[in-house]
Structure 1
Amino acid sequence: MDHDADRTLRALGLAEAPREHPLLYPGAWPAGSGLLDGDRFLPLDRTWYADRTPVLAIGSNACPGQLRHKMLEFGIMSPIPMVRARVTGVDAGVSAHVSRMGYVSASPVSAPDTVRELFVLWLDDEQLAVIDASEGAPVPGGNFDRAWLPAPDVRIGLADGTRLPGAYAYVNRHGVLHDGTGKPRTHPGQREILTELLIGLPRLRELFGVVPEEFCERARADRRLCERGTRLFIEEKLVTASGLERYVAASAHDGSHGTGASPQPLT
């Protein structure tokens, strides 16, 4: 078997982009670290990059097919290191907004006692600008702010025995959905969250239909409908803070982060 063909995203089951298939959100994640190089996912020879910016992937940014889709939209073909990490202090909550991509996305939430296996993307300046744009970070009406999550509040351990001093993550400007007690709920996958929301919210069914397939079809690229869905979450009193908002304010006043500072040994 051809070595390159064996490492294609299609062969590895990593090619589908949730932007094109919303019910697949957050998309397929790799089994381990690798280098996204065009249509291939190649082995890595190291886990951190001092000349790049570490970004913690909470949802579909950990899906190679989604990353490729975002980069190709801007004609970017440069490789992206994706490093699997053991992360303490953050979990994947449910965004309190309806995306024009046709899904309800994941957003990071503060979870001090939670340990998750997530991916750190090491992005150069050009790649970072693309991801920023895709999350709406540079514009006032965007859905996310990029915030630096520092250690030890968030602990990011790599497989080679090092710990990062922090990483960026995209914090939702709308807040996140709670679990009924006021605590942020975790994202169970797209079909599951849409089914639950449509069953529980008659007004949401009026807007988006009765099954997840209808929701995705109606939401895709309909900005006004998505805005109505987002307002409905507020009106139904389903929205709470992520617990990470303080880092947004801190990042706005601190320009020292943005490159891959040297990691520290795990202790």
Structure 2
Amino acid sequence: MLIAHISDFHVFANAAETTVVRADAADAARKVIADIAAFTPKIEAIMFTGDLTDGGSSEDYALLADILAPIDVPMFVVPGNHDKRAGLRAMFKDKLPFEPGPFLNYEARFKDIRILALDTLLDGQVQGALSPTQLSWLEGRLAAPSSELTLILMHHPAFPSTMVPLDHMALQDGRDAFERMVVAHQGPIRILSGHIHRPFQTLWNGIFCAVSGGPAFQHALTLDPAEPEPTTVNEPYAYFIHRISDEKNVSIHTRYVEL
């Protein structure tokens, strides 16, 4: 099967909340969606790791729905720090099995893959968090050994990019507990995230992890820990296509879209 991993569209209907978001973010997002819809063989599911909108208004989500309209396959989403839980829940309530309560966590299945979606949104903050309640929910789902492939979706990476200023904005509260849980799980896990606005892949504790690019803006590559926050750079947008044969055989391809 083919699965696309996209992130960080930051679409807005009226005015951008984030100063570095490109003015034509909606048009850029449409180009990415058009590329996914036209890809052959057909992409069978999409993992969207947060910041679907830039401000989370009802108008933003209405625009997002129009942008995503060409997609006719399952889409699994998590909120980013620029999303609003109420708007995201309302948009996807008939498509995703959100847990009751304030957080947008859920467990879903697509073919032979289990998807665990985590809500790392910390209201009013750039960095992310997992509360004790959410960690308990995750622990319950990872408790039993499993041979099936588990995809964990979360906007804020728990794993380092080694771009130090950006890692300070990643998952903070709950990170150590999350790490212990995924390392202890007896079964194959892959973690997909966003937020960094720089596509990369890494092994973290032996677990494959990836951040998809964000078409709204992209950070320049800065690996010197003494450098300040990276500037933005004009590069082709990149998202990932995963070809999954089974839980032990996955290939990842970078797909570029000129914006």
TM-score surpassing 0.5?
A: no
- Which protein shows a greater Rg? 1
Q: Which has the higher helix share?
A: 1
Looking at both structures, which has the greater relative contact order when contacts are Cα pairs under 8 Å and sequence separation is at least 6? 1
